[in-house]
Amino acid sequence: MARAVRARTCALGLLGERRRRDARARDLLRGSEALAGLPERDRALAFRLVMGCVAATGELDRVVDARLARTAHLEPRVRDALCLAAFELLYLSTPDEVCVSQGVELVRGVAPRAAGLANAVLRRIAEKDAPALAAARGRVEAGTFAAADLARVGALPEWLCERALASLGPRAAAAWASAALEPSAATVAANRALVSTDEAERLLADAGCGPVAGPLPGSFSLGAPAQLAGSGLVERGLVLPCDLSAQQVALAAAPAPGSRVLEVGQGRGTKTVLLEGAACATGVPCEVVAVEADARKSERAARRMKDAGVADHVRCVAADARALDASLGSFDLVFVDAPCTGTGTLARHPEIAWSLEAAAVHELAGLQLQILSAVASRVDEGGALVYATCSILAEEDERVAEEFLASDAGCGFELVSQERTSWPGSDVHFHAHLRRRL
């Protein structure tokens, strides 16, 4: 009798723990001793299985339920095991027989009497659902697809794929859906407020991370990203784990040396350091007021600014951006990193797709417009207003910029440029650059 391998039993245990604790997959994976104790190859498989099963949860439930008898009721541990095996069968390149055999053993390990049911369900998925997925992939590759095909290929809700098609057009929507289950590229940015790009590359190389210079100033992809955790480079603020798209958005804002910058939506402060680093790279830091609505996040960001060596030039403020204190004054650059659906970051945040409700898109678009309108008065004449999201949806992106420009708050501004990022293996971000007329 075959036995389930350690990578799969570890992944199954983590999926059960996530379900019981309602934890985020990445947080759970980051702190898992069981995962850390696996050999590197097994660790990579377990990581991929957990992230994939969470990202595809709605589609996996649909597939499994469709192959059950109507009266069958699955206990949660059996469903976890079936979904894990179904994910590997449908979305990874593991041979069908291995997926079925390993899935049966996973189920046997938690509910021995359900092994026969697992064998029947997984074989039906291999016979029915795998060919259907292959056909959908063929239509996507040929450019003759519908939203339902994107939903199957990316294991995404169909309503979200309909919105993606309307926002991005067929080619970009197909690329977005096809990448939804792929691992994110391992990229970092040098903290150019502390080190030069050359120094960062040497430090990463000495730590065994295998850095390769990226397309943006101070950016690197890592050939051995697992080495970064024990290097101390992140804790010392010398490099920042950061997606290329996020780096592009911050660099495109390009604060002038010595300028006054208002950042709205500071979060953990990664873009704050990137903004400051971009100014420092030209010889003179900028002066940043960074606003975050969550007081605890703002406190953590303030501590991070110290570690990153930019605390003397960054003031962290916990406040609602729609009601800022007048004493903060006006700014050369206002950078709005708006709260959004995060639909451009599905590979990095697997919980988003199936927890997002369609109504939330409209609600967030309203909030985004309120924030943009409120902070517009803080832009000096001739100054810049940058609006950014990590959403792919036009309702949160171009439509918000258009509504702002058509409003009383936006009538004194002009649109300079707007675009979505498109780096292979990276998130998709949107950024619009507006300028206040003199």
Question: Residue 53: how many CB atoms within 10 A of its CB?
Answer: 26
Please indicate whether residue 390 is annotated as part of the active site.
yes
Distance from C-alpha of 33 to C-alpha of 22, rounded to nearest angstrom: 18
Q: Label the pairing between strands 211-213 and 219-222.
A: antiparallel
Distance from C-alpha of 386 to C-alpha of 179, rounded to nearest angstrom: 27
To the question of whether residue 287 is assigned a binding role by annotation, the answer is: no
Catalytic residue among 53, 83, 390, 411: 390
The structure tokens 């389930």 sit at 4
Nearest Cα to Cα of residue 79 among 90, 96, 64 = 64
Nearest Cα to Cα of residue 369 among 326, 342, 340, 327 = 340
Is 29 buried (19+), middle (13-18) or exposed (0-12) by CB count in 10 A?
buried
Give, to the nearest 10 degrees, the angle between helix 96-110 and helix 6-21: 60
To the question of whether residue 403 is assigned a binding role by annotation, the answer is: no
- Alpha carbon distances (Å) from 399 to 168, 256, 415, 430: 13, 28, 13, 12
Distance from C-alpha of 422 to C-alpha of 190, rounded to nearest angstrom: 21
- Residue type, position 208, single letter: G
The number of residues in the chain equals 438
To the question of whether residue 22 is assigned a binding role by annotation, the answer is: no
| Beta-carbon-side half-sphere exposure of residue 95 (alpha carbons within 13 Å) | 3
Q: Label the pairing between strands 331-337 and 260-264.
A: parallel
CB 345 within 8 A of CB 390: yes
Question: Residue 395: how many CB atoms within 10 A of its CB?
Answer: 17
Q: Which residues are catalytic?
A: 390
Annotated binding-site members: 292, 320, 337
Annotated binding-site members for S-adenosyl-L-methionine: 292, 320, 337
